[in-house]
Structure 1
Amino acid sequence: MSSKKIHFEISERKVLLRLIDVFAVFAALYFLTVTFKFHYFSFKESSLGSILFLGLYINLFGTIFEMYNLQVASNQFQIVKSTILTTCMTVFCYLLTPVFTPILPSNRLQIIYFFFAILLSLFAWRFFYLHFLASHRFVKRVVFVCSRDTIAQLALELGKADPHYEIAGFVSSESLVVENKNTDGFQEINFAELEFFVKKHSVAEVVIALKGTKPIAPDVYQQLLNLLEKGVVIREYMQVYEHATQRLPILYAEKDFYRLFPFSRSNHNRLYLIVMRGFEILFSVLGLLFGCLLLPIVCIGNAISNKGPLFYTQERVGKNGIPFRIYKFRSMITNAEQHGAVFAKANDVRITPFGKFLRRSRIDEFPQFINVLKGDMAVIGPRPERPVFVDAISQKMPFYQIRHIIKPGLTGWAQVNYSYGESIEDSMVKLQYDLYYIKHRSVFLDVNIIIKTLSTVLFYRGQ
């Protein structure tokens, strides 16, 4: 019998990273205080506020610099970059808030000790995580209950979502007769042997993946009940996919989409909507004031390399499908669409040199705060698209227009997780993210999006 492998869920891995980041730093600082003459940071009861603020700064800047993005946490180069940036900003802000943190030490060498204690402890823990906890040895074995013609695609999508899943085999939901022991490279399991197979191969989870309302064969259903009674985790594929990717599997759901995806009550929660509207007005006023400070730079840049109108407006589709005019700083040549509307793409030749700077820094979007003040847009929501693109995409995705049940936004769950769409296929992926936001819309998710947006701006990743 194979030994049982260790597996951490995605959410558990992120919590683990956050907790041990703070613990590793505290352990290093404690070692400094008892081993050397280090007095800047103290673990006395009177220093509880300073301790809490350090943990807060580590988690805040770790989030901004993507320390808790599992792909970043599994890449050696990204670990080095994110750890250095997080340490620098943590130490910088900690030193600048002496009301909540210790007074600056007279011996500036103490600050250097403080900096390297944080940096080296984070490095040590993150490289331990990379080589042990992020290893493919820590996988979750699962068995699918699905039709034979879908196992390959389902396994492919789940593997993309979380490579730590290992497909041990599948049980056909259509027939009790095993026609082929190997289907598309996956072992087909006889339903009568399912319980034995789960025990023998240390299967952690059974995933049911049935499209539409197709019933499970009664004998297979009874086997699943037996496994459930014995403590085996049984989950539905859409639940697994949504948890792993943080987007909705709309292609898998097909015509059952409306039945299977209840949307967030926040979409109709008056208190939430009033609070968010107040935040949007305040944020927009501050954004426009800051945009006014940037206006001379934009004017000079536009005059040098982007001659033509400073602003441009364009029709976009808003809430409930109502069109509105969007405002932006112009970043493309003046006759960018003389041959018709096309999707913006990476390295688009229509974007001027200064326009690239405006887009990557997101400065081109500052005039959209006018749209937010007018009520056409929100700060957070799906990206507003042009009517011509909405019509084209809706022909291929009949439920695409569901994204219009809320206001479009300056930033959103799709924008911070995926690049600008260059095709209908890209729009499909972005739609999955947009609908995830609409389903789970909350203050917590909104704050998460704002932090990720700050990360995009600081890393100069706009397009």
Structure 2
Amino acid sequence: MPRPSILNSIERKFILLVGDLLIISASLNLLINHAIDKEFVSTTLKVFVFAFGILVFLGLSYILDFYNLEKVAKRRYIVSLSIFIAAFYVFLVFIFAVFFFDVSFWRIPLLSFLLLTPIEVGLWRLFFGNMFRIIPTTKNVLYIYDKFSADSVKNETNAINGYDINTFYKVRLTYSIDHNTLVNKSFFLSAAEKIDTIIVNIKDYERLTKDLENMIVSSILNGKEVISYMSFYESTYEALPLTSHNESYYEILQLRNRKIRYLQTIFTFCINFVLSVFVGTIFLLVTPFVWFCNLFFNRGPLFYTQKRVGKYGKEFKIYKFRSMVVDAEKSGAKMASKNDMRVTPFGKVLRMFRIDEIPQIISVIKGNMQFIGPRPERKIFVDELNQITPFYNVRHIIKPGITGWAQVKFKYGENLDDSIKKLEYDLYYIKNRSITLDLRIIFKTITTVLFSRGV
């Protein structure tokens, strides 16, 4: 008996989004056509209030990670978060309508809009979470590999099963094309019965046996999912797997730097210009405050300068508000850690709200950095990392950034292993760089600063 079709995470998120939008659209219809006095209702009001409502809801949902399926599965958490986001959304829409259109309301429909919308969103998400406790949610995987991946099978199956996230995949069978010489009929029947997805991680596809090729083709024709390990990792973790010894060279070197993308260039220029003005103003305002506090709580130089490796491997000087003791590196170069004893009490406050990073605007204005890009690293660590992985210098084909994909997706790097892990995200960003991805980074950076996440 065939297994029921299992929805992947993208499909589940889409269903969740559609349900949310139906509720939000219905609530906006209640507000516009019933709560607002009809003499104030116009086409302009309808369009602007509806568009504003949708955009506010989607913006809040993205910033607060409203479509994280692991969070959706936690009943108490998702109900409270749903009510909070929906309540904030209706409040903002209400203020927008009053402030820009100066309308008056009918009380009962308005109260229905303000009170029922959060309750409806919370109930819908509670229903959604319970629905996928009944419907199968995890895909059973057949992992096919070769001798080049034999030493890293454990790491790669762990990645498929999920390191620190629920991938909704579970490796049930593994198959080596070097140690298993043929695919017998019983193995095929076992795989066909139990497996929903085949993940292939081999260097040379021409080495696949005819039996194995037939099995894969038959699986595709029977609705099974067949993907490469690189594709799985990139779509699931939004990073490139440096531990994979098969497709890495081919995938990583396809960095889309062969042609100029004019819209991306214009967007990057505009972002750098606008944020330079904004952050530059903040820099001028907070500098006297930081200088004054330094006199009492952090005696020593106001700024901390250091050479970092930038575009094409050229070194430049970076500026930060000093957050550590003056002789922090008297025993040699050392990466900062989460509970670094060298950080002063006032420095902890600076780091908590990312105030120490603000002087990097000087490097942006000088043209050595941009706002979005890989984090610039010191040459001594770059040289060490180049000995460990041949890909590290690839991150230097673009300017380093104050914020970036690795910064918002991974914790603060405390050692070389963390730096290699962050390299996976840097290479993903370089390969998939786009206006959409840059906007995601900006939103996630805002969330990081507002909620003081990371070091």
| TM-score (norm. length: structure 2) | 0.87
1:450-461 correspondence to structure 2 within 5 Å: 450-461=442-453
Between the aligned partners of 1:263 and 1:89, the Cα distance in structure 2 is 40
Q: 1:271 to 1:380 in 2, by over 3 A?
A: same
More helix per residue: 2
**Match for 1:159 among 154, 158, 161?**
161
Partner of 1:7: 7
Q: Say whether residues 1:305 and 2:297 are aligned partners.
A: yes
Partner of 2:20: 21
C-alpha contact (below 8 Å) 2:335/2:415 kept by paired residues: yes
1:118 deviates by: 3.1
CA distance in 1 between counterparts of 2:37 and 2:331 reads 64
Question: Against the structure 1 CA distance between its residues 422 and 265, is the aligned structure 2 distance closer, same or farther, given a 3 Å change threshold?
Answer: same
Change (3 A) 1:105 1:135: farther
CA contact (8 A) 2:3 2:193 kept: no
The aligned counterpart of 1:169 is 173
Counterparts of 1:36-435 in structure 2, within 5 Å, are: 38-39=35-36, 47-76=46-75, 78-79=77-78, 82-83=81-82, 85-87=84-86, 89-98=88-97, 103=102, 105=104, 113-133=112-132, 137-147=136-146, 149=150, 150-160=152-162, 162-177=166-181, 190-201=183-194, 203-211=195-203, 215-253=207-245, 256-261=247-252, 262-265=254-257, 268-435=260-427
Displacement of 1:113 after TM fit?
4.5
Q: 1:33 to 1:371 in 2, by over 3 A?
A: closer
Q: Secondary structure at the match of 1:379?
A: strand
Q: CA deviation at 1:280?
A: 0.6
Cα-Cα RMSD:
3.2
Rounded Cα–Cα distance in structure 2 between residues aligned with 1:387 and 1:214: 42
Amino acid at match of 2:161: G
Tell me the CA shift for residue 105 of structure 1: 3.8
CA shift in 2, pair 1:61/1:104, >3 Å: farther
> What per-residue deviation string (whole Å, max 9, x for no partner) do you get for residues 70-90 of structure 1?
344344565356445534543
Is there any run of 5+ residues in structure 1 with no aligned partner, and where? 179-189
Q: Which amino acid aligns with 1:23?
A: L
Deviation at 1:209, TM superposition (A): 1.5
Following superposition, the deviation at residue 198 of structure 1 comes to: 4.2
Greater Cα shift, 138-147 or 430-439: 138-147
Q: 1:253 to 1:96 in 2, by over 3 A?
A: farther
1:139 Cα deviation from its structure 2 partner: 1.4
2-side partners of 1:348 and 1:214: how far apart?
A: 51
**Could you say what secondary structure the match of 1:316 adopts?**
strand
List per-residue Cα deviations over 1:117-136 (Å, max 9, x = no partner). 33222322233333333778
Measured against aligned partners, the alpha-carbon deviations of 1:343-375 in whole angstroms (never above 9, x if no partner) come to: 111121211222122112112111111111111
Identity level (%) = 34
The count of residues paired between Structure 1 and Structure 2 equals: 447
- CA 1:11–1:32 in 2, change beyond 3 Å: closer, same or farther? same
Stretches of structure 2 that go unaligned for 5 or more consecutive residues are none
Output the CA distance in 2 between the equivalents of 1:86 and 1:21: 12
- CA separation of 1:337/1:76 partners in 2, compared to 1, >3 Å: closer, same or farther? farther
Paired letter, 2:19: I
CA distance in 2, matches of 1:270, 1:14: 32
Closer/same/farther in 2, CA of residues 422 and 84 from structure 1, 3 Å limit? farther
* Higher mean C-alpha displacement, 217-226 vs 86-95: 86-95
Counterpart CA distance in 1 for 2:48 and 2:277 is: 33
Q: Distance in 1 between matches of 2:90 and 2:290?
A: 33
Greater CA drift, 263-272 or 150-159: 263-272
1:294, distance to aligned residue in structure 2 (A): 2.4
| SS of equivalent residue, structure 2 residue 207 | coil
CA change 1:452–1:167 in 2 (3 A) is same
Separation in structure 2 between the aligned mates of residue 14 and residue 267 of structure 1, nearest angstrom: 34
Q: 1:325 to 1:99 in 2, by over 3 A?
A: farther
Query: Aligned AA for 1:141?
Result: N
Kindly state the Cα deviation for residue 106 of structure 1 after the two structures are TM-superposed.
5.6
Greater mean alpha carbon deviation, residues 257-266 or residues 299-308 = 257-266
Q: Distance in 2 between matches of 1:418 and 1:379?
A: 18
Amino acid in the other structure paired with 1:258: Y
User: How far apart, in 2, do the equivalents of 1:325 and 1:137 lie?
Assistant: 54
Kept in 1, the 8 Å contact 2:374–2:426? The answer is yes
Deviation at 1:218, TM superposition (A): 3.2
CA shift digits 1:35-88 (9 cap, x unpaired): xx8448999977243223211110101111121233443445653564455345
2-side partners of 1:389 and 1:357: how far apart?
A: 27
CA 1:213–1:197 in structure 2 vs 1: closer, same or farther (change >3 Å)? closer
